[in-house]
Structure 1
Amino acid sequence: MSRYLAGRVLEMVPVVVCLSFAAFMLIHLVPGDPATAKLGIRGTPEQIAAFRAQLGLDQSLPQQYWHFISGALTFDFGESIRSQEDVGELIGRRLQPSFLLVGYALLIAIVVAVPLATIAAVRRRSWVDQLIRLLSTVGFVMPSFWLALLLVNLFSVQLGVFPTSGYGDTFSEHLRSLTLPALTIGLGLAPLLLRLLRDSEIETLQSEYVGAARARGLSEPRVLAKHVLRNSATSTVTLLGVLAGVLLSATVIVEQIFAIPGLGSLLVTSVRFRDYPVVQALTLLFGIVVVVAGLLADLVYAYLDPRVRL
């Protein structure tokens, strides 16, 4: 297992290098620059040129990339152009809302998808299976912003159970404020997990070792829990690693809708103001999170199926 882990970590090195280059270049492809966005139309050409020199934007792109990557190696991304705050501290304050939202949404997706997928697999081709598949299709094609508006109208406007926006001050208020955003993301993710897990469970239910377990007199719940779910979870774990990027992109939209002070809303604001250091740091962070999520998914997959390590 240690050799497998070491090999996967080494494979991540060139990926992270490519990610750093993409994180640096993407914001440079956006029209406009920080000096124009900061000074506006009232800034004279001399003022704009002086501000660009102060930010180091008058240097060549290779020089700017070297400063970026050398700072990233020491976790020093400079100061925000917009707020004059340290980029690391600014991102650090926004980490908790985003990662709590992603974890909450992922938990909702798993809680919804696993039992429904198991019921659909056991009752294959019945009206129950058809209904679950229909609902999963509706959930998959529904846009996240439309689902968010429906949830706000029902639970906030009509019932008054959850707040329409904000984050709260205590942990309980955080969870209460993040419930509707997490439902928006989780209900959009659940259909993907449900479809994949259902197909995998149907294939597992037809295997010989499941029939042998039933022949030994094991109860159906034990057969499902010990043999079917465990062996069907490998493909689902792989999908979760791939969907890490989808989760992060969904938080950008949802955080804007519900006014959550997380990384997604910070990224949108920073792009609008051409805040290069913040955008580059966030892009690199999101990319590394996706890579690490893929690594963790592979490790869990290797644990569930030892043949992968070979």
Structure 2
Amino acid sequence: MGRLLLHRLGGLLTTLLLSSVVIFGSLYLAPGSPENVLFGSRAPSAAARAAVRHQLHLDRPLPVRYWDWLTGVLHGDLGSSMVTGQSVASRVGSGLVTTLLLVGISMVLVVLLGLGLGTVAALRPGRIDAAANAATSLSVTVPPFVASTVLISVFSVKLGWFPASGIQPGLLGRLHGLVLPACALALVSCGFLARVTRNALREQLDREHVQTALVRGLPRRVVLRDHVFRNALPPIITAVGLLTAGLFASTLVVESAFAVPGIGLLTIQSVAQKDFPVVQAVALLLVAAFVLCNAVSDLVQALIDPRLRTVGRTA
């Protein structure tokens, strides 16, 4: 287990390093120049432009700028915003808590609805299974921005139950403002998890040893617990890890639709302003979230299935 943990940690660090090279290079090689954001519509003199480029270290070679940025990140310094002058850590940190809370609420909804609907569909073939499949088919086809628009028009504009945009101060106000964004995020994911759960359970139910146990008169509850649900967990856990990582990327759309001050909205604004240090930090956070979620799902599967720990030792 320890070797598997070290293997996943090494993969995380390698992925982050390679991603940092790609992110840093792609941003600074993109069309346009960062100092143009500071000048806006004004036409600066050559001396003023050169002074700003020197202040932002844009006159240095790209590898040198990357090395300076990477060493700063390793020391906890993510740089300063080119637009506001604030530290990138403070700008990202202020929205990270909101985004983590949004993703957490969404995943609670996804797990409860996805597992529940998938389990019911697997154990009740026939009309209930067909109705569940129809619901999940509709769920997975609705884009997050469409779900956001529908939820705002129904529950905010017509019913007035939730705010249409923004969040209120305090924990309760924040939770109240995140209900609709969380539902918009969870809509597609719960349908996907329901399908994975249904297929995994049905596959285990069709296994010969499960049918034999039922024929021999073992209680159905015991057979489902010990032979069906336990053996169906690995694909379900993998799906939960992938969906959690995907929700971080989906926050860019949903937070913009609901004006939620998280890292998703911050990313959209920073890209429009060409605030490269902020975009780099958020992009690395998204990559780290994706790799970390998958690593955690692998470790949880290893705890459930000892055979996966053996694979970790031989790798």
Q: TM-score range by the shorter chain?
A: over 0.9
Q: Is 2:156 the counterpart of 1:156? A: yes
Name the residue aligned to 1:274.
274
Q: Deviations over 1:42-81 (max 9, x none)?
A: 1314222221111001111101110111111112011111
Instruction: Please state whether the residue corresponding to 1:41 is helix, strand or coil.
Output: coil
Contact 2:88 2:277 in 1 (8 A): yes
Give the deviation of 1:218 after TM superposition: 5.1
Aligned to 1:65: 66
Number of the residue aligned with 1:292: 292
CA distance in 2 between partners of 1:179 and 1:13 (Å): 34
Q: 1:167 aligns to what?
A: 167
In structure 2, how many angstroms separate the alpha carbons of the residues matched to 1:29 and 1:268? 19
Q: What are the Cα deviations for residues 7-66 of structure 1, in whole angstroms up to 9, with x where unaligned?
A: 222233321210111221232243222210111131314222221111001111101110
Structure 1 unaligned residues grouped into runs of 5+: none
Aligned-partner Cα distance in 2 for 1:111–1:233: 15
Aligned with 1:177: secondary structure? helix
Q: Which amino acid aligns with 1:107?
A: V
Percent sequence identity is 35
Separation in 2 of the partners of 1:165 and 1:151? 12
Let me know the Cα RMSD of the aligned residues: 1.7
The 8 Å contact of residues 83 and 275 in structure 2, kept in 1 or not, is answered as yes
3-state secondary structure, aligned to 2:58? coil
| Letter in structure 2 aligned against 1:35 | E
Q: How does 1:130-279 map to 2 (within 5 A)?
A: 130-211=130-211, 213-214=213-214, 219-279=219-279
Matched residues in 2 for 1:45 and 1:247: separation? Answer: 45
Alpha-carbon distance in 2 for matches of 1:83, 1:216: 71
Residue 213 of structure 1 and its aligned partner are, at CA, apart by 4.8
Name the residue aligned to 2:27: 27
* Cα distance in 2 between the residues matched to 1:174 and 1:100: 9
TM value normalised by structure 2: 0.93
Whether the aligned pair in 2 keeps the contact of 1:23 and 1:281 (CA below 8 Å) is no
* 1:94-109 aligned within 5 A: 94-109=95-110
The answer as to whether partners of 1:36 and 1:43 remain within 8 angstroms in 2 is no
Check conservation: 2:107, 2:244, Cα contact below 8 A. no
Maintained 8 Å contact 1:24/1:68: no
| Offset of residue 280 of structure 1 | 0.9
Greater mean deviation of Cα atoms: 249-258 or 225-234: 225-234
Give the count of matched residue pairs.
309
TM-score (normalizing by structure 1)? 0.94
Instruction: Flag structure 2 segments of 5+ consecutive residues without an equivalent.
Output: 311-315
Give a deviation string over 1:201-223, Cα, whole Å, max 9, x none.
00111224434554575543454
